Amino acid sequence: MTDSTGTTWALSGFGDEIDPDPAVQVAVLQALGANHIEVRSAWGVNIVDLDDEQLDRLAGILAERGMRVSAIASPIGKVDVSLPVEHEVERLGRAIAAAKRLDARYIRLFSFYRAEGVPVEDIRDDVLVRMRALAEAAEAAGVVLLHENEKDIYGDTPERCLDIVESVGSPALKLAWDSANFVQVGVPGPYSDGYAMLRPHLEYLQVKDAKAATSEVTPAGEGDGQLLETLTALRDDGYTGFASLEPHLTDFNALGGFSGPAAFGVAGRALRRLTDQIGVTLA
């Protein structure tokens, strides 16, 4: 173990990867030492589909247990780019309402799918129009959008993530980093090939790893995502933000993943082994 650097990151995690019940989500996260939760769904209902009564109930559960929200893990942008601009702007409005009710600054989003056989370059202009519209809505609401490098969307490689954030040029659009997703789209070394170019825009860390040969998702440090190198560089760069567990260890699909309490604990302990190794405290 290295000497302590005095660096602390806020540990969080996708609660619905643990259990549909928010009370169980919070209990497991707190057992792992987290004081934050990333909210994607509650009681099996996506965050953008929760009604006001459900949002109030969720807020009450979190407040009662002293749990804060690191981000709203919305599905915005996980749709075909052919849909009208207004489609996702309207859905973002519901994510913003959830962020306000749950006192969250960040909202995760994506940069659109395309029809089978359509070259990724052909959707660039349409993607940027939509991302600008979403960023403008976020600016007006005082929230920050975090683009995740999800598989098969426009921004699934470091180069296209950079293209989005630099082309839109909004203070309300930043990047979330996911090493496993980069591995799964064939980026040889997420840290080697993407970190330096994306670091100026990197605002949030989502934690999972993957094996290049099989695309199998693994706990942090057990795949080819160069997690240790990435975490070390973030420490050295003075990063003090969130590290959010998104293990995907037992099941995943286009809209999310599931791990269960036991596998989620495995993922949490794997991350802590890496941060202990580099002298970073998770709290």
What CATH number does residue 179 fall under? 3.20.20.150
Given pLDDT bands bounded at 50, 70 and 90, which one contains residue 250?
Answer: low
Residue 228 resides in a domain: yes
Given pLDDT bands bounded at 50, 70 and 90, which one contains residue 260?
Answer: confident
Over residues 84-111, mean pLDDT: 98
Given pLDDT bands bounded at 50, 70 and 90, which one contains residue 1?
Answer: very low
Residue 2 resides in a domain: no
Q: What domain range is 241 assigned to?
A: 7-282
What does pLDDT average to over the chain? 95
Residue 230 resides in a domain: yes
Over residues 196-209, mean pLDDT: 98
Domain count, the chain: 1
Residue 205 resides in a domain: yes
Is 196's pLDDT higher than 70? yes
Distance CA 151, CA 110 (A): 10
User: What was the pLDDT predicted at 252?
Assistant: 53
Residue 144 resides in a domain: yes
Cβ distance 169 to 129 under 8 Å?
no
Q: Bigger pLDDT: 24 or 257?
A: 24
Residue 15 resides in a domain: yes
Is 62's pLDDT higher than 70? yes
| Structure-token pair, residue 7 | 């660096």
Instruction: Note the pLDDT tens digit of each residue in 25-56.
Output: 999 999 999 999 999 999 999 999 999 999 99
Residue 1 resides in a domain: no
Percent of the chain clearing pLDDT 90 (strictly above)? 92
Concatenating the DSSP letter of every residue in the chain gives: -PPP--EEEEEEEBGGGT-SSHHHHHHHHHHTT-SEEEESEETTEEGGG--HHHHHHHHHHHHHTT-EEEEEE--TT-SBTTS-HHHHHHHHHHHHHHHHHTT--EEEE---B--TT--GGGGHHHHHHHHHHHHHHHHHHT-EEEEE--TTSTT-SHHHHHHHHHHH--TTEEEEEEHHHHHHTT-S-HIIIIIHHHGGGEEEEEE-EE-TTT--EESTTSSSS-HHHHHHHHHHHT--SEEEE----SEEETTEEE-HHHHHHHHHHHHHHHHHHTTEEE-
Residue 201 resides in a domain: yes
- CA separation, residue 251 to residues 71, 120, 128, 183 (Å): 22, 27, 31, 18
Question: Residue 163's beta-bridge partner residues?
Answer: none
- CA separation, residue 243 to residues 46, 92, 146 (Å): 22, 23, 13
Distance CA 71, CA 106 (A): 5
pTM for this predicted structure: 0.94
User: What was the pLDDT predicted at 251?
Assistant: 56
Distance CA 69, CA 178 (A): 19
